[in-house]
A and B are shown apart, each in its own frame.
Chain A
Amino acid sequence: MTGDVWVVLAPALLGSGAFAIYLVARLLTSRNDLLALLTALVFAAALVALVPLQFTTGVGHLPAWGRFGPGGAFLRADPGALVVAGVALGLGLLVALYSGCYLALDRRYEDYYPLLLLLVAGLVGMVMAADLFNLYMFCELMSAAAYVLVAFRRHTDTAIEAGFKYLVMGSVGTVTILLGISFVYRETGTLALSQATSAPGPWTRAGLACFLVGLGIKSAIVPLHTWLPDAHGRAPSSISAMLSGIIVQSVFYALLKVCLGLGWAGRDLGALLIVLSLFNMTLGNGLALVQTNTKRLLGYSTIAQMGYIMLSVGVGLRYDVPVAIQAGFFLLLAHAAMKGLAFLCKGVCHFYCDATTINQLRGTATRLPLVAVAFSVALAGLAGMPPLAGFAAKWFILMGTLRSADGLGYVGLAAFLLNSLLSLGYCLPLIGTLFTRKTSQDFGETSASSDFGELSQGVSEASEVSIQISPWMVVPIVALGALVLAIGLYPGPWLGWTANAGVYLLALGR
């Protein structure tokens, strides 16, 4: 067991933190706020542990730890993995703080916080895994935690149903990945993921197809996305924020690493990704337009945003444009902040006003003014309005896509533009709903139209009073809101963070 110990520090901290917090919760205290704080501290420590790697990791130098071979843990940091892991840890930190109040709805803290830590531990391990065995193990660790967390509200049948559906589909994916691994091992005799030296043979190609399906299920590539709206719609909002914000994207990164590492030519994979992205974007946005449940809407929007990421990365790989891949990572980062913020805001509405459908969100502006503003920032960002993070991402993606060298890229570009209009079709009315006053008829049958300007008639007293929100919720929401604005207004440093990731992936695909 040798190598750069910083590489293993973050997953180790998270894993051991999970056990420690479980013990603390069972033996010492079951106070939610203390446990949330402890969990947040673990996330913060893991985040700090990644910092030295930022400086040592470059395209040419990938710090590794561990021993290759059966049973040996083998991790390797690369620029892309650091971005994904950093985003996951940052989002996890804020979600843990948020849960300090939000989880009072569900209790069972001793299950929740360790699972949250294991979820991120699995993620960090997966994106850093340097062989297929570790990738598989960490992916399963993450997935198992995710299944339980989706079905966390086990007193509701819908949550059980969503969790079960997720479990079944995820397991099919798992088995397919395992099959793929065995195919690859049969031909190459090794599980190591390093740059392939020769073109893949027939077994490896069969294995690659298995990975595409297996990891494709977990990263919600259309038509393997059907579990996502249910799972993200039924999980507690804090967990939806993690799932939509980073988990799906991290599996996509693992997919890229596996496919390129096993010798799938970047040009071909890029073309495939562009084609698949057309479906993801259009279907995600199209179905988001007709949703009545807020969280399902956000779930479909995640499918669409995955499409944008796929398009950008695909263009980069196909036409050898590092800035396009970089833009994909930039969107991943921006999307994590925006979608995380949206789900957390939705959670506050659920916590204080018991609002789940879109119509029930009416009157949010009078009762929860801060949340209404933050939610609007998140939605406007998702729709790509300047000067928010989503717009900067859109700008960079367009900049990358316009360097396409043939028709396929321009088809993707046209679809991207069309979809950024479609996304306005659900983001704007939702913002409008937040700022619409609750009318007396809303308490009975709700009507679909939202007339912003109408003065309230027969507004009940209770819905006019603004509610004091717990600081545990205010801090993450304000932090994410500021981040969405900061990424949009000053994207330089964030763009710099993702620069090496693009170059690295491109080098892997050559």
Chain B
Amino acid sequence: MTSALLLTALLLPLVAGALLPLWRGRRIHQAGRVAVAAAALVLACVVGLLVALQRGETPALALTWIPAAGIRLALQLDWLGFPFLLNVVVVSLLAAVYGWGYMHADARLPAFYALLLFFMGGMVGTVLADDLFLFFIFWELMLVASCALIAIWGEGEQAGRVALKYFIFTQVGSLLVLIGLIALYVLTGTSSLAQLRAAPPVLDPRWATALVTLFAVGFGVKMAVFPLHTWLPDAHSVAPMPVTVMLAAAMLSMGVYGLLRFPLSIFGPLILANFSLPLMIAGVVSQFYGALMALAEEDIKRIIAYSSVSQMGYALFGLGTLSQPGLAGAAMHMVNQGIVKALLFMGVGLVMRATGRRRITNLGGLRHALPLTTLGSGVGALAIAGSPPFCAFHSEWQIFAGGFQTPHTAVTILAVLAPALTAAYALWFIRRIFLDPRPEGLEVSVPPLAMRVPFALLAFLALAVGLYPAPLYDWVMRGVLIVTGGG
């Protein structure tokens, strides 16, 4: 039963995506609905899997695939993967709904939703894969699908070049990950993640250090932490908004998932201890760099894009602490940050749709014309600045609590100061767009309902998770026990 749910959750987006190009002619308008229906069914599967996890099961599935190379078609969901899976599926579902209103209906619409589903399928597969080979295939599917979305539907004349840059930068990271994965297999002789975790390999410390470095840099590119971030502002600002939402709110978290799954779960504390301070410092640098760049930007989409660099810095800092609250905070922050970032990007999309402008200097005074957008974006801004009672507060708390468990108090104090800058750009962003006097000649139209509903839902989630974070705490803590070996 649970293995059927696993397989359905994985295959449904892929099959639906493969079938979508059949929707042609007059029926292209249905393409978005098909995609949303598929994503909703996947969400139903995920809920079913949650029930199984709560019962203490570990849904798994293993079939032989390439025996000569020790490769199996193995899927597994555990508590570590679950928050990420839930985040991916919810964000994808809402992004697809948002696309109903955002995308123009033309003959290519079915292909758009098909690629969106492949993108989602890639992320779902990345989380579910229990085999090194399979993990990498989905890891790359995620990249190929998102790159095609940027290349074909990208906004502006640079779309092709931005897509190429995105692809090649990310591919550098992927290759490092690939080397890490294959080296793990060659050194240990097993390609199963569960086995690697159950019986951590005893490796030559030089090899282990090299592998951790490879994984850290490789997944760091996906997380887009400084100085590996340069693809992110371009890709996020050029991609159509539903894709941007998925990139920022779901795909970046795959980097954190990779770090938790590979180096942090597999290698012992002796090896990892050497990486603690570098990761924490890299995280703090990203925090400040992203926030400062967000303050300096004028394009509203790039402001939120740079805010992602900053937010991923928080997560990297949390991972670098290697402490239980730090790791839990980083994983939780991926969910919370996902909600908030999707909310903010959708708000930007609403403003862009309503006014047709995206330079912050040409905007202002939208609070009367767009009250819902103002409210929601305000929630997003407060949440990202880490103010209670919104969701990101809890994860940032955990991350900093983890920081103070390490001997590196000075770095931690620096990290704690970063939210001040975050608050600066977030509040400045709100003030300039919604509160400042309205420039002359700014026409405002009402954005479609399909764009407003997911936006409102996310604003509600940001508050709800902030007020009642207990389930998320619970799931993430059980996941972190897998990483630290307590489970």
Interface residues of A (CB under 8 A from B): 380, 385-387, 391, 394-396, 398-399, 402-403, 413, 417, 420-421, 424-425, 428-429, 432, 435-436, 449-454, 490-492, 495-496, 499
* Cβ-based interface call for B153 (8 A): yes
User: Are B65 and A453 closer than 8 Å at their CB atoms?
Assistant: no
Chain A's nearest CB lies how many Å from the CB of B285?
Answer: 26
Assess A452 versus B182: contact at CB under 8 Å? Given A428-B164, A429-B164, A495-B66: no
Tell me whether B137 and A432 are in contact (CB under 8 A).
Answer: no
Determine if A432 and B175 form an interchain contact, defined as CB atoms under 8 angstroms apart: no
Q: What residue in chain B is nearest A496 (Cβ atoms)? A: B68
Extra pairs beyond A421-B175, A451-B157, A452-B154 (10, CB < 8 Å): A394-B178, A395-B178, A396-B69, A399-B185, A399-B186, A403-B186, A428-B167, A432-B163, A452-B159, A490-B65
Nearest to A425 among chain B residues (CB) is: B168
Task: With both chains docked as a complex, state the minimum distance between the C-beta of A79 and any C-beta of chain B, in angstroms.
Answer: 15
Find out whether the CB atom of B168 lies under 8 angstroms from the CB atom of A421: yes
With a CB–CB cut-off of 8 A, which chain A residues contact B69? 395-396, 399, 491, 495
Task: State whether A492 touches B159 (Cβ < 8 A).
Answer: no
Contact A453 B182 (CB under 8 A): no
Is B465 an interface residue when CB atoms closer than 8 A count as contact? no
- Main SS at interface, chain A: helix
Are the CB atoms of A495 and B175 closer together than 8 Å? no
Give the residue among A386, A451, A453, A496 with the most B Cβ atoms within 10 A.
A453
CB of B217 to closest CB in A, whole Å: 13
Instruction: Judge whether B140 and A386 touch: CB under 8 Å.
Output: yes
Contact flag A399-B167 (CB < 8 Å), given A451-B157, A496-B68? no
Residues of A contacting B154 in the complex (Cβ-Cβ under 8 angstroms):
452-453
- Chain B interface category by residue count: 35 or more
A413 to B183, CA, bound (A): 12
Q: How far is the CB of B367 from chain A (nearest CB, A)?
A: 33
Q: Report which of B144, B151, B178, B183 forms a contact with A453, defined as CB distance below 8 A.
A: B151
A-B contact list, 13 entries, CB within 8 Å: A391-B140, A398-B182, A399-B186, A402-B186, A403-B186, A432-B151, A436-B160, A450-B160, A451-B157, A451-B159, A453-B154, A491-B66, A495-B66
A203 to B7, CA, bound (A): 64
Q: Which residues of A contact B153 (CB under 8 A)?
A: 453
Judge whether B67 is part of the interface by a CB distance below 8 angstroms.
yes
Q: Is B161 an interface residue (CB 8 A)?
A: yes
Residues of A close to B167: CB separation below 8 A: 424, 428
Asked if A454 meets B141 with Cβ closer than 8 Å, knowing A398-B179, A424-B171, A499-B68, the reply is no
Residues of B within 8 A of A432 (CB): 151, 160, 163-164
Q: How far is the CA of A491 from the CA of B159 in the complex (A)?
A: 35
- Given contacts A386-B136, A421-B172, A435-B152, are A399 and B66 in contact (CB under 8 A)? no
Q: Is the CB of A386 within 8 A of B175?
A: no
B155 within 8 A of A: yes
CB closest residue in chain A, given B151: A452
What chain A residues lie within 8 Å of B151 (beta carbons)?
A: 432, 435, 452-453
**Neighbouring A residues of B425 by C-beta, 8 Å:** none
Q: Is B306 an interface residue (CB 8 A)?
A: no
B133 at the interface (CB under 8 A from A): yes
Task: Please give me the residue from chain A that is nearest to B159 by CB atom.
Answer: A453
Is A417 within 8 A of B157, CB to CB? no
With A396-B69, A424-B167, A449-B160 as given contacts, are A386 and B141 in contact (CB-CB < 8 Å)? yes
B68 A387 Cβ-Cβ under 8 A: no
Residues of B within 8 A of A386 (CB): 136-137, 140-141
Q: Give A491 to B66 CA distance when docked, in angstroms.
A: 7
Chain B 42-100 interface residues, beta-carbon cutoff 8 Å to A? 65-69
Contact of B68 among A385, A435, A450, A492 (CB under 8 A): A492
Closest to B141 in A: A386
Contact between chains at A387 and B160 (CB < 8 Å) = no
CB proximity of B71 to chain A, nearest CB, Å? 9
**A326 (CB) vs chain B CBs: closest residue:** B68
Other-chain contact of A492, B66, B164, B171 (Cβ < 8 Å): B66
Question: Which B residues are CB-close (under 8 A) to A454?
Answer: 157
* A455, closest chain B residue (CB): B106
Cα(A155)–Cα(B361), bound, Å: 64
Residues in chain A near residue B164, CB distance under 8 A:
428-429, 432
How far, in angstroms, from A399 to B183 measured CA to CA in the complex?
Answer: 7
Question: In B181-207, which residues have CB < 8 Å from any A CB?
Answer: 182-183, 185-186
Contact A492 B133 (CB under 8 A): no
Minimal beta-carbon separation of B63 from chain A (angstroms): 12
With contacts A399-B186, A453-B155 taken as known, whether A420 is within 8 angstroms of B160 at the C-beta atoms is no
Which among B140, B141, B178 has the greatest number of chain A C-beta atoms within 10 A? B178
* A421 CA to B175 CA, complexed, in Å: 9
- List A contacts of B178 (CB < 8 A): 394-395, 398
With A421-B175, A452-B152 as known contacts, state yes or no: A385 contacts B66, CB within 8 Å: no
> In the complex, A495 Cα to B65 Cα: how many Å?
12
Q: How far is the CB of B400 from chain A (nearest CB, A)?
A: 38
A86 to chain B, nearest CB (A): 18
Q: Which residues of B contact A490 (CB under 8 A)?
A: 65-66
**What is the distance, in angstroms, from B99's C-beta to the closest C-beta of chain A?**
16
Q: Please give the distance in Å from A380's CB to the nearest CB on chain B.
A: 8
When distances are taken between beta carbons in the complex, the residues of chain A under 8 Å from B133 are 395
Chain B residues whose C-beta falls within 8 Å of the C-beta of A413 in the assembled complex = 179
Docked Cα-Cα span, A23 to B31, in Å, equals 58
Chain B residue nearest to A402 in the complex (CB): B186
B128-170 interface code vs A (CB 8 A; 1 in, 0 out): 0000010011001100100000011111111111011001100
Residues of B within 8 A of A429 (CB): 160, 164
Contact B155 A385 (CB under 8 A): no
Q: Given the interface contacts A425-B168, A495-B66, does A385 sit within 8 Å of B144 by beta carbon?
A: yes
Verify B68–A495 contact, CB threshold 8 A.
yes
In whole angstroms, how far apart are the Cα atoms of A14 and B400 in the complex? Answer: 75
**Do residues B168 and A424 form an inter-chain contact, with CB atoms below 8 A?**
yes
A316: shortest Cβ distance to chain B, in Å?
14
Distance in Å: Cβ of A306 to nearest Cβ of chain B: 21
